[in-house]
Chain A
Amino acid sequence: NAGVTQTPKFRVLKTGQSMTLLCAQDMNHEYMYWYRQDPGMGLRLIHYSVGEGTTAKGEVPDGYNVSRLKKQNFLLGLESAAPSQTSVYFCASSLRRSVADTQYFGPGTRLTVL
């Protein structure tokens, strides 16, 4: 049981390049989330999904797209990377998005955009 995994762990992009971050969970969780964490900031929600085939915007969605084609996978895409998207990206999942439901985080992807 691996929990939540993220691929890749590190990546360096040039401005304007595109990439996709992959999140996978093996806990049969309904809900999945993408956050970014920047120095001096709390984690901020980018997008989330309440089930296969559904996605919704979070607090900071601009510049990102997501897809949830399979229940266990949640993809985060950057179509045209910008230096402002340099950050640590965390994926999380929860059984359901209800009160007091624990979110389990992946190990993170460290992205640098030059």
Chain B
Amino acid sequence: RKEVEQDPGPFNVPEGATVAFNCTYSNSASQSFFWYRQDCRKEPKLLMSVYSSGNEDGRFTAQLNRASQYISLLIRDSKLSDSATYLCVGQTYSGAGSYQLTFGKGTKLSVIP
């Protein structure tokens, strides 16, 4: 079983809509979580970290629920430029002072004019 699972989508939403992505993880030892954004044929880039208390960055809100082992990303007032694949990422301690990232397969978002 993949440690980090996401709905692959695609999510097709009109401009201005609110869209939410969920991600579940199976490794309860995972300590930190992130959302990365990956544009078509480009490299992943960090969008935001995810904290249990929830965190917001402009139109983006991320939330972590450790009891249910899921992470969410909410995008408000969607823009055409938000069209991308969103990767859910978990970080787990792998020993000797180092950590390993586990990537979900990604959720594809298309914002339609």
Contacts and interface: CB of A to CB of B under 8 A. Distances in A.
Interface of A: 31, 40-45, 50, 58, 90, 97-103, 105-108
Contacts of B87: 42-43
Which of A41, A100, A101 has the most chain B CB atoms inside 10 A of its CB?
A100
A103 B46 contact: yes
B49 interface: yes
A66 B65 CA distance: 38
A107 B43 contact: yes
Contact of B31 (A31, A40, A99, A107): A99
B27 interface: no
A41 B2 CA distance: 10
Contacts of B53: none
Given A90-B43, A90-B44, A103 B31 contact: no
Contact of B43 (A41, A50, A102, A106): A106
A45 B44 contact: no
A42 B31 contact: no
A45 B44 CA distance: 14
18 contacts: A42-B2, A42-B87, A42-B104, A43-B44, A58-B100, A90-B44, A97-B97, A98-B99, A99-B32, A99-B91, A99-B93, A99-B99, A100-B32, A100-B91, A107-B42, A107-B43, A108-B42, A108-B43
Contact of A42 (B32, B41, B42, B102): B102
Interface string B82-113: 00000100010100011111111110000000
Given A50-B98, A97-B99, A99-B99, A41 B105 contact: yes
A106 B45 CA distance: 10
B44 A105 contact: yes
A45 B92 CA distance: 13
